[in-house]
Chain A
């Protein structure tokens, strides 16, 4: 029986689809609001292959990746710098925590004024949100470097700079990847919301919103699933990069 263990996650998916069919067949939910799974997957397939869904998916990926890259470029060096001096971080901790706790969506109007209606606003708000998450994690990763490891480097005669480059940086990598995974998830959330409401003409958020306005329910569910798959895929991608480069994580 244990041989079947790797297939256990499939059970949950199959169960969900079964429940969905039962809800449709028994007309438990208004069929207009909940189309059968086949219609939804058909809409997803045609949308991705030949329809607008594919290009919307691509636009959302593009914005999310840009936002994450910008956030990482700003936040990683800054996080290392702040984390290396605990007193400096403590003096900025409240500011960072405050803006990290501020819903990034509340910043849209401000960024609209700064960057106008367009991709720059969507990407910069998402980058802002992601950057604070990454910054916080990198700084903590550096600050929580194992004391013994730092002492070991010091006792071997490493300078402060060498300790930073050879030990602290690598010690902070596992935590940095946690920050990147959380950052990319948050960036995706912000990008999708921005695509819904800020004068957008494309992107998954726009697709979901438009399908709902037109009452094209299979299209709407298809776009939601596409967004879900994207979020899951991005997380998986960063996990795979982490396993490859931070092989010692958790060991």
Chain B
């Protein structure tokens, strides 16, 4: 009964959205309650393949909850989430936490942190080392990875976290407010790092952000959520080619896109 209902929703949604980028992730009929609060009620979303989607919305609307449910950190009450038609258990994915200090393992050196997910996959040691070295060279990272995480700066630690997520060559990368614990200077630097990583890897990326400028600057699509129960307030396209830089921030299409997003956001905030 439930399966049949989900199937019909999928086919109708498929017919309705004949857009250029094919969907990588399909979320159908997602529902989630926390005690008395309904965060999601029959929520549907497509995440396009090879794009970077930023999620932005009012405080407590369930931005982080959404990627936590999609990444399997929080169970959902109802609904179906598929990656190319496969469930989460059959795909490789990466997840980057906001709190890098508590997400990395302080008893392991930085390169051991990065290769830990490969160890879980029972990859032999020499292969693990080679894979990490390849990733380091590929990203052009200049950090002494023999150091322990607590010996690195905040930005460097988060970079190690991101590399730990990327080393498994994930099909999709989730980042939960990855730069909000960093100072502004480091945030700007890390934005560029993430842009480069995305351009290099082309991995489907979902970024939760509480900074609208960052959300638009990095995104192909900006998902604007309403207050809970969350609906899609808008799902804005931003197609300026990469690499984007400081000049991008003053270009008309960036300014209008950001202004439009802010407008939608303000409407949602005032609605309460």
Contact = CB atoms under 8 A, between A and B. Distances in A.
A167 B107 CA distance: 9
Contact of B105 (A149, A157, A246, A251): A149
A248 B102 CA distance: 12
A148 interface: yes
A148 B121 CA distance: 21
A155 B95 contact: yes
A167 B164 CA distance: 16
Nearest to A246: B107
Interface in B69-83: 71-73
A5 B71 CA distance: 53
Interface in A146-161: 146-149, 151-152, 154-158
Interface in A112-147: 146-147
A167 B104 CA distance: 10
Contact of A170 (B102, B107, B116): B107
Contacts of B121: 157
A155 B148 contact: no
Contacts of A156: 116-117, 120, 164, 168
Contacts of A170: 105, 107
Given A148-B97, A162-B120, A248-B150, A155 B73 contact: yes
Interface residues of B, number: 20
Contact of B117 (A151, A157, A167, A248): A157
Contacts of B72: 155
A247 interface: yes
Interface in B105-130: 105-107, 116-117, 120-121
B102 A146 contact: yes
B117 A148 contact: no
Say what secondary structure dominates the interface of chain A.
helix
Q: How large is the interface on A (under 10, 10 to 19, 20 to 34, 35 or more residues)?
A: 20 to 34
Nearest to A148: B102
Contacts of A154: 73
Interface string A42-68: 000000000000000000000000000
Contacts of A166: 105, 116
Nearest to A147: B102
B99 interface: yes
Contacts of B103: 148-149, 151-152
Contacts of A251: 106, 150
Nearest to A245: B107
A141 B79 CA distance: 37
A218 to B, nearest CB: 49
Interface of A: 146-149, 151-152, 154-158, 162, 166-167, 170, 173, 246-248, 251
14 contacts: A147-B102, A148-B103, A151-B73, A154-B73, A155-B71, A155-B95, A156-B117, A156-B168, A157-B121, A170-B105, A170-B107, A173-B107, A248-B106, A248-B150
